[in-house]
């Protein structure tokens, strides 16, 4: 049996998604690989740069099947996705071809959490399939893939167990979580055991939003605002909640990687420093932060998915080159030339470029590309 997510591989009934670029963006013909030359040769300071994409996605059909009637709509409504997936006999080969064409040595895979509203048993089964499948894929291609685990954040006690198992048994590098847990901010104490476990294990939590559902009505209309505004806004809210609720003081070694350049935080963080001065009645006197709110931004990791060299230059100026990693959102074609994006950004040193292209990911995620 085949599906839009590809063909079965070794685990019974499992299908690795057709994670590849769309033909109009340069992928090879159906059934073949990319035809553009390999561009994975960036030499800086006398050594070849490692290119590591920390923001990439995949899906496994076996876990989608457990969603039942809720499965439709999980695949993002982006140009040509379904049609192109159906055309590919070997989606994994297409993904590897795309990585070579884009100059990417390694991808860190993640699965956007679509199970937060499911019951405990179903959600646990979905995450088990995802994590075992990711581990199998990494075992097959250990120098090309790493992954963030799937965990049931809606059941924090279970999420703690899943995170520890994912790291210690499956070798995953952390977990991918949403911008909220079905509308509940994970800065709240009920989720702190998960944050504490991530800090204890020294692994990263990758925040990837799925819009801001509370604003769904206002996002209607032209422009796909639910994504263009909703996704970075949801990340911004999640990060500011972690800052203002004192989570980074409580867990100072917690490693957070935020998708889409950290949302809007990198562009407007200093406004946070004035809020409790301007309106103390809207602030909790029992929460006394150890630093100015904007200073916490420099301990949050962010991907480089901000589209223009000037935007990336500004993000580096705000948070530091040591906090930024390549992220493309592959296979959705938001960023087609991640290497060129970094190399064309002004005011970066060679060390900055080496760090953003891959050294930060190797250091923070403990990768061995």
Compute the mean pLDDT over every residue in the chain, rounded to the nearest whole number: 88
Dihedral class, residue 326 (left if φ above 0, else alpha if ψ from -120 to 50, else beta): beta
- Report the alpha-carbon distance of residue 128 to residue 40 in Å, rounded: 34
pLDDT at residue 357 greater than cutoff 90: yes
340-352 mean pLDDT = 97
Residue-level pLDDT at 89: 77
Domains of the chain: 23-365 (3.20.20.140)
More confident residue, 369 or 292: 292
pLDDT at residue 6 greater than cutoff 70: no
205-215 pLDDT, tens digit per residue, is: 999 999 999 99
- Give, as one character, the DSSP assignment of residue 232: H
231-284 pLDDT, tens digit per residue, is: 999 999 999 999 999 999 999 999 999 999 999 999 999 999 999 999 999 999
pLDDT at residue 84 greater than cutoff 70: no
Q: Rounded to two decimals, what is the model's pTM?
A: 0.90
- Report the alpha-carbon distance of residue 324 to residue 316 in Å, rounded: 7
Contacts of 340 (CB under 8 A, 6+ apart): none
pLDDT at residue 324 greater than cutoff 60: yes
- Report the alpha-carbon distance of residue 25 to residue 200 in Å, rounded: 42
Least confident of 27-36, 88-97, 256-265, 359-368: 27-36
Name the packing angle between helices 156-168 and 120-140 (round to 10°): 10
Note whether 180 and 186 are within 8 A (CB).
yes
- Report the alpha-carbon distance of residue 63 to residue 71 in Å, rounded: 10
Residue-level pLDDT at 228: 96
With a pLDDT cut of 70, the percent of the chain lying above it is 86
pLDDT at residue 20 greater than cutoff 50: no
Residue-level pLDDT at 36: 35
């Amino acid at each position: 049996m085949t599906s839009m997510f590809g063909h079965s591989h070794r685990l019974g009934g499992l299908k690795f998604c057709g994670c590849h670029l769309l033909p109009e963006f340069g992928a090879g013909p159906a059934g073949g690989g990319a035809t553009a030359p390999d561009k994975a040769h960036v030499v800086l300071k006398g050594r070849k740069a490692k290119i590591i994409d920390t923001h990439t996605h995949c899906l496994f059909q076996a876990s989608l099947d457990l969603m039942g009637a809720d499965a439709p709509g999980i695949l993002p409504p982006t140009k040509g996705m379904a049609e192109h997936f159906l055309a590919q006999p070997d989606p994994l080969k297409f993904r590897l071809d795309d990585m070579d064409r884009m100059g990417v040595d390694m991808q860190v895979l993640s699965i956007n959490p679509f199970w937060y509203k499911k019951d405990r048993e179903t959600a646990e089964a979905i995450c088990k399939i995802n994590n075992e499948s990711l581990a199998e894929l990494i075992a097959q291609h250990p120098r090309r893939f790493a992954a963030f685990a799937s965990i049931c954040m809606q059941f924090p006690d279970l999420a703690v167990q899943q995170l520890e198992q994912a790291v210690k048994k499956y070798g995953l590098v952390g977990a991918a979580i949403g911008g909220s847990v079905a509308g509940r901010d994970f800065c709240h104490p009920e989720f702190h055991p998960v944050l504490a476990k991530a800090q204890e294990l020294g692994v990263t939590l990758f925040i990837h939003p799925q819009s801001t559902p509370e604003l769904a009505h206002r996002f209607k209309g032209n422009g796909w605002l639910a994504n263009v505004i909703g996704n970075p806004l949801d990340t911004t809210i999640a990060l500011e909640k972690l800052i203002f609720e004192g989570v980074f003081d409580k867990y100072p070694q917690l490693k957070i990687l935020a998708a889409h350049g950290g949302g809007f935080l990198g562009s407007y963080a200093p406004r946070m420093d004035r809020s409790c001065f301007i309106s103390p009645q809207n602030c909790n006197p029992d929460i006394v932060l150890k630093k100015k709110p904007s200073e916490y931004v420099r301990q949050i990791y962010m991907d480089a998915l901000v589209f223009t060299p000037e935007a990336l230059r500004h993000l580096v100026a705000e948070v530091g080159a040591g906090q930024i990693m390549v992220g493309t959102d592959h296979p959705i074609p938001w960023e087609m030339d991640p290497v060129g994006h970094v190399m064309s950004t002004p005011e970066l040193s060679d060390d900055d470029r080496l760090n953003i292209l891959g050294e930060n990911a190797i250091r923070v995620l403990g990768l061995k590309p």
